[in-house]
Amino acid sequence: MKQLFPNERLVILSQKLDLESHIKRLASFFAREKSIVLLGDSKSHNRFIKALDDTQLPSLPPLPNLDDLINRLSKQATLQLEQIYHFVKLIEFFNVLKAATLPPLWREFVDAIEIPMELLEICQYFNDQALIDSTKEPELFEIEQALQRLKREEKDKLASVMRNSQLKDFLVDTQIHLYYGQEALLVRGGFSKVLKATVIGRSSMGFFYVVPNALEQLQERRTKLLDAQEEIYQRYAKAFSATMHKWWRFLQYINKEFDRVDHYNARALMLKSQDLQLILPKASKEVILSDFKHPAIKDATPISIAFQKSIMLVTGVNAGGKTMLLKSILAAVFMAKYLIPFACNPNRSVVGQFENIETILDDPQSVKNDISTFAGRMVEFNRLFKLKDAIVGVDEIELGTDADEAAALFRVLLEELSNKGLKFIVTTHHKRLASLMATNEDVELVAALYDEEHQKPTYTYLHGSIGKSYAFETAERYGIDRSLVAKAREYLGEDKEKISQLIEKSTQLEISMRQKLQEAKQQLELAKQKEQKLENLKERIVQEHKQKLFKLEQNYAEALKKLQAALKKAESPEARRLINEAHALKKQSKEEREEKEIIDLKVGQSVKYRGKRAVVLSLKAKEAMVDVGGMRLRVPRSELKPIRENKKAKVANPSVSVRVNKPQKSKIVLKLLGKRADEAEEELQSFLSDALVHGFNEVEVIHGTGGGVLVKVVSELLKKHPKVKSFERVKGNLGATIVKL
């Protein structure tokens, strides 16, 4: 397992979570040994793996680790041909990968790898035996031909020796044996009387491997040919190594990319070989498992559990599935962190990302180090204070000391550590700790359910409850005499049992009340949201109504203008009288509507004006001075809506004002000469609005003297207009008024 992880800590963690065989299965899909840890962006890795769902990569060659050889190349060392051949297989794999049909993501990745031509040329010199192809080198070809001829001569010579009738009695068999690369005969002792030969070895039965002296001359020729062949091999090895030295960084790059491809391919193959899923860790710290199966359990019962709070406290009978739940949650986090496939429902499972995964599972007692079980637990907990962003599993937390004292102590430790960002899964068969922590909103209680009838765990879990310990029932199940168990029940006493039951009931009642309170809060929040939606709907309807009403008034004004234009051509006093009555009725209707829309307001109150937040500065009967983003405006009270809030909005600094520079050139003038009162009023309103939009701060209105009707209409309108600062008649000319905005 050591080579599968970058450090010993992860090896121990995988063993504690019972994941060794599952991890070894993943490693079996690798083309070469490596750590199963896949560094880098998990999301990017996941995309490459998922892209292989419908694609099969070319077979990856079984390669050794090449890091040491690359390091030697970087220092200009000369490699042997068989070592160079490993790089040849590496390069040839990527060449094959380039020619394969791949998904777009993989095609982009492979196309980005440009193999140098010099390295491709080296590949062409090798045959399948990791040697130089003799067809590429004439001298080498001649040596090979000579060796083949020599081999035939040696074979014929040996056959001739074996036909010697005097040697027949000394031959063990009639075969030609290959002993450490040399062809030899296997003979009995005393052969020297009939055969001159050199002994090169002995068999296990005491016979002799011999080479007849008649073959020595042939073997000398063979040695010279082999030396010449080796010299050629060394020449090529030196030349190839020199070329590879120039490209050692590229070789280092594709060697790492090979491992990357190997990681992706192994996970894709594992996913296809079994009904497994690849769960990408999320930024959230919750763990939600649906139909999770721990890989160490054959025919495992699927587990579904939601761990969303800071602490999960699992209670229940011994051998009731508490530890398996703990290991399942931590194993899911471990496998998601290192992109190891596992069985679950991927659509309903969520696994958070944690920097550290810690376990406190075993009895830490050590005679050698003179440390007790409880003392060992304290050492382990003290180490947790140095961690950040960790999920921790603690099995049988009160192990080794008094349960009541331990419950109080571990409550403090768990709450303090959870406040520092650690997340805990804790198992216990004692009720005291569960009852103490039940009031903490960051703690979720889980009871491991137990099948009393069949006396086995169900591997199902109930949230918000405390599980029974079943100590007496378990004792009976494992053969303890019933009379002894009954006596133990008497020692425990009815009062103790009743107290235990009351603790369970009171805890469950409190949990139930907390759940109901939470539900009530949620319902209240929903009611507030609905109320806000209705308020928004009401406001939208009112705005739509105002827009339609404004459009109707525009249509009315347009129709009135057309009618007035027609009356100029055909004067009718009666028609003019009716028009004036209609205009008066319209004005009266508008005033009545505005009076109905006026609401009670207070100075300093937060209101909404045309979709913007404002604060009331002062109030009049039908108007209000408001502050909108630092600008003071006088607006109709009917256009203001109160904002409900707990705290009053701060009144903006009244000294803030907005200044619009007066144009330096032409003066803006409106001529009302000859207009009727209603026409003059409408044109003056429109004229003032346009002047404000264009940023003018001074305009002139020419109304003449006449009978004084227009002068009165202009003066009254200017007095009521919220944007008019002041106005005055022009000296020497009573027919014009200067208006400052």
Token pair recorded at residue 560: 């009135």
Torsion-angle region of residue 199: left (phi > 0), alpha (psi -120 to 50) or beta? beta
Token pair recorded at residue 614: 């404002």
Top mean pLDDT of 249-263, 482-496, 590-604, 686-700 is at 249-263
pLDDT of residue 449: 74
Q: Rounded mean pLDDT of 667-677?
A: 77
pLDDT of residue 345: 95
To the nearest 10 degrees (0 to 180), the angle between helices 248-273 and 20-27 is 120
pLDDT of residue 568: 62
- Report the alpha-carbon distance of residue 393 to residue 147 in Å, rounded: 69
The sign of the CA dihedral 497, 498, 499, 500 is positive
pLDDT of residue 735: 78
The rounded percent of the chain whose pLDDT value lies above 90 is: 36
Per-residue pLDDT reduced to its tens digit, 113-144? 999 999 999 999 999 889 999 988 899 999 99
Q: Rounded mean pLDDT of 479-505?
A: 64
**What one-character DSSP code corresponds to residue 167?**
G
Q: Rounded mean pLDDT of 139-166?
A: 86
Q: Phi and psi of 655, rounded to 5°? A: -75, -15
Q: Rounded mean pLDDT of 597-619?
A: 82
Token pair recorded at residue 399: 């192990």
From 32-46, 496-510, 694-708, the region with the lowest mean pLDDT: 496-510
- Name the CA radius of gyration of the chain, rounded: 48
Q: Rounded mean pLDDT of 94-115?
A: 95
- Report the alpha-carbon distance of residue 637 to residue 623 in Å, rounded: 5
pLDDT of residue 434: 79
Per-residue pLDDT reduced to its tens digit, 506-559? 555 555 666 777 788 888 888 888 888 888 888 788 778 878 877 787 777 777
- Report the alpha-carbon distance of residue 353 to residue 350 in Å, rounded: 10
Burial of 401: CB neighbours in 10 Å, binned 0-12, 13-18, 19+? middle
pLDDT of residue 436: 80
- Report the alpha-carbon distance of residue 690 to residue 683 in Å, rounded: 11
Taking residue 334's Cβ as centre, other Cβ atoms within 10 Å add up to 23
Q: How many whole angstroms from its chain centre is CA 367?
A: 45
pLDDT of residue 580: 67
Q: Phi and psi of 397, rounded to 5°? A: -65, -35
pLDDT of residue 377: 82
pLDDT of residue 140: 92
pLDDT of residue 733: 57
Q: Phi and psi of 57, rounded to 5°? A: -70, 155
The sign of the CA dihedral 66, 68, 72, 74 is positive
Across the chain, what does the average pLDDT equal?
82
Burial of 407: CB neighbours in 10 Å, binned 0-12, 13-18, 19+? buried
pLDDT of residue 660: 39
Cβ(245)–Cβ(80) below 8 Å: no
pTM for this one?
0.61
Cβ(365)–Cβ(399) below 8 Å: no
Residue 10's pLDDT band (boundaries 50, 70, 90)?
very high
Exposure b/e, 134-158, CB count within 10 A at least 16 = b: beebeebeebeebeeeeeeebeebb
Which strands, in side-by-side order, build the sheet including 640-642?
Answer: 631-636, 623-628, 612-619, 606-609, 640-642
pLDDT of residue 126: 94
pLDDT of residue 494: 53
Residue 500's pLDDT band (boundaries 50, 70, 90)?
low
Cβ(183)–Cβ(212) below 8 Å: no
Helices in 100-215 by DSSP H: which ranges? 104-111, 117-123, 138-162
Q: Name the residue type at position 427.
A: T
- Report the alpha-carbon distance of residue 431 to residue 450 in Å, rounded: 16
pLDDT of residue 320: 61
Residue 503's pLDDT band (boundaries 50, 70, 90)?
low
Per-residue pLDDT reduced to its tens digit, 460-475? 777 766 655 556 666 7
Q: Rounded mean pLDDT of 575-585?
A: 66
Token pair recorded at residue 656: 């803030």
| Whether the predicted pLDDT of 102 surpasses 80 | yes
Residue with the larger pLDDT of the pair 334 and 718: 334
Token pair recorded at residue 389: 């962003």
The sign of the CA dihedral 32, 34, 36, 37 is negative
Q: Rounded mean pLDDT of 186-207?
A: 89
pLDDT of residue 91: 96
SS3 of 340-363: the string is: CCEECCCCCCEEECCCEEEEECCC
pLDDT of residue 16: 93
Q: Which pairing describes strands 208-212 and 182-187: parallel, antiparallel, or unpaired? A: antiparallel
Q: Rounded mean pLDDT of 673-685?
A: 81
- Report the alpha-carbon distance of residue 713 to residue 717 in Å, rounded: 6
Strand pairing partners for 727?
Answer: 739
Q: Rounded mean pLDDT of 48-72?
A: 94
Q: Provide DSSP, 190-215.
A: TGGGT--EEEEEE-TTS-EEEEEGGG
pLDDT of residue 657: 41
Q: Rounded mean pLDDT of 290-297?
A: 92
Q: Provide DSSP, 7-18.
A: SHHHHHHHHHTT
Q: Provide DSSP, 380-434.
A: HHHHHTT--SEEEEESSTTTTS-HHHHHHHHHHHHHHHHHTT-EEEEEES-SHHH
